[in-house]
Amino acid sequence: MSYFSELSRQYIDGRWQTGSGSWDIVDLNPYNGEKLASFTVATGKEVDQAYRAAERAQRSWGQLNPYTRRLVFERALRIIEDREQEITEAIVAELGGTRLKAAFELSLSKDMLRECMQLSLRAEGRILPSPVDGKENRLYRLPVGVVGVISPFNFPLFLSLKAVAPALALGNGVVLKPHQEAPVTGGTLIARIFEEAGLPGGLLNVLLTDVAEIGDAFLEHPVPKVIAFTGSDTVGRHVAQVAAGHFKRTVLELGGNSALIVLDDADLDYAVDAAVFSRFAHQGQVCMAANRVLVDRSVADEFTERFVRKIRTLKVGDPQDPQTQLGPLINSAQAEAINAQVDQAVAQGATVLLRGSTAGTLMEPVVLTDVADQSEILRRELFGPVVLVVPFDGEEEAVRIANDTPFGLSGAVHTADVERGVKLAKRIETGMIHINDGTIHDEAIVPFGGEKSSGVGRLNGEATVEAFTTVKWISIQHGRSRFPF
């Protein structure tokens, strides 16, 4: 099937329909500029329709036997497995993702659906003791009701499913607003998968729209109790403020500025491999990417020479080519913004070790060192193929540099002494950090999230249960209570 021709509509209350807005979102292939699809935008009217549909459908879904709910996720998994080739082609076309990236995203997505089969059964209650004779305290864990999900463009299939699927598994309804650059793989494709998997109509709704059309209606609507947002810290801050003003809970998975730290006893060849993948996977458009590679000065020259040599071998080009390792950035504006950051750093004294050319959305790798301490590029997220090599003198300086950023998502430490690495890792202000590995990891049962401006809350495993359920206390008095008057 042609996903782009068949899935270019809104999905509301179990029906495919055209938005009622007066303009279109155009979905383009970032490599060649080909028009893939266009969507007439949803308006505030459709936002209300979608949330009301989810609210109605959730009432019976939340009461359904969880063993019955889990069957939907079993079928959704089989659908993805049966259509991996078609979905791969969609990821390559819509995102400019390489085939390696598509395989990675599909693997994560399938693991998430497998986890959701078990997650359906994890909303466990408790019975607590009471100081009152004859009283029984029951704690019931119940669905929150409806969850609003806003997903990004970089890993849209997985990062949409990461919130959508667990929320549904735990008995909630969902309204999903995917990024405009990924409306199919991050939105309507997911609706089609769950539709075919037998999810009752109305439980999952997908809206293709923009704040220029709906303002904050998606966040302010009275129905959703939780807003799950993945994206930039700037937008995430706005989401948090609006949601808090309406007494909604938020789960915010935001940007990063991860450091991969190479200590003086590290296996340098292995650290080079980890650093190259951690920085250049999906052209650096990964929130966990290692923007900064911190290297002990005693091994910095040797490491840097090997690091740059390997980066020179990376093939940049057509993501359809299985040999391509770096495809296009999501749009030319992103490439221009990244190059402007590099220009500014160079003007402030940074040394260029490698800088390829940029042609439209294709940007060859950039390696900088001697970056000035006050340079903004050291502290911000770099969503492109640019890496900063920063020498340090001793562990204290490594910790100071690693923590000198508003972000705190991921990181890595390379050392021959694992416990030395763990001791250092505990001092790095991140939600996640990995010893002798890369910075890019996500496992379905391990809590995922960041510190500082990298987000609020966690997803995966038990953290997801906390995020998308609420606790209700019901007490039972066996016998008669005594009241003071």
- Domains of the chain by residue range: 3-254+454-473, 258-435
Alpha carbon of 168 to those of 87, 118, 482: distances in Å?
A: 22, 12, 43
Residue among 408, 417, 452 at smallest CA distance from 435: 417
**Residue 482 above 90 pLDDT?**
no
| Under 8 Å between Cβ of 382 and 280 | no
Q: Is 116 a catalytic residue?
A: no
Residue among 67, 73, 102 at smallest CA distance from 86: 102
pTM, two decimals, is 0.96
Q: If you average pLDDT over residues 59-67, what whole number do you get?
A: 96
Q: What is the pLDDT of residue 1?
A: 43
**Residue 311 above 50 pLDDT?**
yes
Residues 6+ apart with CB under 8 A from 13: 49, 50, 53, 201, 202, 205
Q: If you average pLDDT over residues 310-325, what whole number do you get?
A: 97
d(CA 438, CA 272): 10
Query: How is residue 432 written in tokens?
Result: 């996640």
pLDDT tens readout for residues 245-296: 999 999 999 999 999 999 999 999 999 999 999 999 999 999 999 999 999 9
**Residue 2 above 80 pLDDT?**
no
Q: If you average pLDDT over residues 169-176, what whole number do you get?
A: 98
Q: Which one is catalytic: 213, 253, 381, 395?
A: 253
Q: If you average pLDDT over residues 91-108, what whole number do you get?
A: 97
pLDDT band at 3 (very low <50, low <70, confident <90, very high): confident
pLDDT tens readout for residues 410-466: 999 999 999 999 999 999 999 999 999 999 999 999 999 999 999 999 999 999 999
Q: What is the pLDDT of residue 107?
A: 97
Please state the CATH superfamily assignment of the domain spanning residues 258-435 in this structure: Aldehyde Dehydrogenase; Chain A, domain 2 (3.40.309.10)
Please state the CATH superfamily assignment of the domain spanning residues 3-254+454-473 in this structure: Aldehyde Dehydrogenase; Chain A, domain 1 (3.40.605.10)
pLDDT tens readout for residues 152-166: 999 999 999 999 999
Q: If you average pLDDT over residues 20-42, what whole number do you get?
A: 96
Residues 6+ apart with CB under 8 A from 293: 259, 260, 262, 275, 279, 307, 387, 388, 389, 390
**Residue 169 above 90 pLDDT?**
yes
Q: Which one is catalytic: 94, 115, 287, 381?
A: 287
- With a pLDDT cut of 90, the percent of the chain lying above it is 98
Q: Tell me which residue has tokens 């807005």.
A: 21
Burial pattern 224-252, b for ≥16 Cβ within 10 A else e, equals bbbbbbbbbbebbeebbebbeeeebbbbb
pLDDT tens readout for residues 363-407: 999 999 999 998 999 999 999 999 999 999 999 999 999 999 999
Q: What is the largest distance, in Å, between two alpha-carbon atoms of the chain?
A: 83
